[in-house]
Structures are given as C-alpha cells and as structure tokens.
Amino acid sequence: MLTRAQVLAELRRTLEPDPLVRTVWLGGSDANARTDDLSDIDLLLIVEPGFIETVAARIEHTLDTLSPISIRHRLPLPTWHGFHQAFYQLRDAPEHLMIDWVMMERDAPHPWLEVERHGSPLVLFDKDSLVKPTHVDRAARDEAIRRKVGELRVRFPLYRHLAPKCAARDLSVDAMHFYFSVVIRPLVDMLRIVHCPDRHDFGLRYVRDDLPPALYETVCRLSYPAGPEQIAPFTREASLLFADLLAAWDAQQSPS
C-alpha cells in the first residue's frame, strides 16, 4: 500500500519544477501539529493566473501514475469558500489517505494563511515567498460573531423542543437528528464564540483543540445519549449551559 510520504514525495517531485505552480504548502493536520498515521493530505497551491485547470490535470495525472484513482470529486463552482477544490482516493492507498487540494491564482486574496484559524503552514516549496502568515481581521470577526449570537439567541430556545418531542413520540432517528442540529451544534457554536472566537464558525471540527478540557468532556458526554430517554434531560442540561454562555458573552460586550 502507498504511504503518505510516498504520495507527498511524488506530488512534490512533479509540481516543484512546474513554472505554473508557484507555491505549495500543507494545511490541516500538518499545519496544526496533529499529523498521525490516519492523516490525509491537505494540499494548498498558488498557480499562475489562468492555469488552474492545467495544474489540476497535472495533479490528477501524477496521482494516476501512483495508483488508479478509485474516487474523484471536484467541488462544483462556486464552492462554499470561493476557491477550486478536489478530493481523491487511490485504489492502492488506505481509504483514509485522501488527497484534498485547494488551488488559488497568484495575487488572488485568500484566507488560508490566517494562523489563528488554519495553523502554521508546512511549506513544501515557495518560489516567490508568497507564504506569509497573516492574522484574523478582528473587527470583521467580531461583527460576524455579533450576527451569529443574534441568530443563536432566537433559534436555540425556539427549536430545542423538537428533539425531546420526537423522543417522546418514539421517533428515535428524528430525535437524534434534531438533537445534533438544534441542540448540540448551536451549543458548540456558543462555546466557540466564548472560548475560541477566531474559529467561531468551525462547527464540530477541532473541538478538542479549541475548548477547555472540562467543557470538551461535557460536550463529549452530551453527544452520546445512551438512548432516546436521555435526550430530554441532556437538552435541559445543554440549555442551562447555553444560557450561561450567552450571559458570559453579553457581560463581555458591556462597557466596563
């Protein structure tokens, strides 16, 4: 089976001499010091304007020389983040060794070097010194958080009853769906806003990294009800914690 190191080495061997490819770095687990035996490959590239499709085809050809591609998925445009992105799995590599690339044109503004959100890039090569870590725009972040809190303040108490109501009706699947979407997810959003505002919109990703250990353990426990009968008491507990977080955020906004 192919290893992560072999795939990375072949991608670098192909891309570094290519004059169309100006910079390649690794994000994800590599940028956040969490790489392990199950890590995939998060590749970020800056290429010459007008040549994204040319470089995309070169990456695909490189992967195909290593192993037949078993699954390929190119995100349709416009993507949620506004950049070109594709995912691959190789027949002769472990399933978890997914290759994920995001590609940008040179001189196009992008957010992928904000260290508070995306970590410290692991540079494979940088021909023009384009990898310059930046920082979050705190004014824009705070405005986005204010809008988000306004939404959560209404949506959480409005919809939280759906999960225990479905559980009471013995609709276990419906209950779990609503429990995660209208109880756990907004609770985690509020926890992030208070404890990790720079990644306030990361949802359930990196929760262990971003929350105080005791609160992370609380989220873990609330995320695994033993059965439908626990959804109502867990929802009540989550509601109390949500109210405390909202009060803490409101106190932070009050002038001292």
Which tens digits make up the pLDDT trace of 47-71?
Answer: 999 999 999 999 999 999 999 999 9
Q: What is the pLDDT of residues 85-135, one digit of tens each?
A: 999 999 999 999 999 999 999 999 999 999 999 999 999 999 999 999 999
pLDDT at 17 over 70: yes
Neighbouring C-alpha atoms within 13 Å toward the C-beta of 59: 27
pLDDT in tens, 181-239: 999 999 999 999 999 999 999 999 999 999 999 999 999 999 999 999 999 999 999 99
pLDDT of residue 211: 97
Residue 3 confidence (pLDDT): 96
pLDDT of res. 256? 59
- Report the SS3 class of residue 125: strand
70 phi and psi angles, rounded to 5 deg:
-90, -35
CATH class of 138-253: mainly alpha
**Distances in Å between the alpha carbon of 203 and those of 129, 148, 206?**
32, 12, 8
Question: CA 23, CA 49: separation in Å to the nearest integer?
Answer: 13
Residue 65: partners with Cβ closer than 8 Å, 6 or more residues away: 10
- Separation of alpha carbons 10 and 28, rounded Å: 19
Confidence class for position 12, pLDDT limits 50, 70, 90: very high
State the pLDDT at residue 253.
87
Whether residue 106 contacts residue 130, with contact meaning beta carbons closer than 8 Å, is answered with yes
Measured torsion, CA atoms of residues 132, 133, 138, 144, in degrees rounded to the nearest 10:
100
Query: Domain limits of the chain?
Result: 4-126, 138-253
| pLDDT value at 177 more than 90 | yes
Mean pLDDT across the stretch 16-39?
Answer: 96
Asked if residue 4 lies in contact with residue 92, where contact means CB atoms within 8 angstroms, the answer is no
- Model-level pTM? 0.90
CA distance 113 to 96: 25
> Cα 42 to the chain's mean position, in Å?
11
Classify domain 4-126 by CATH number.
3.30.460.10
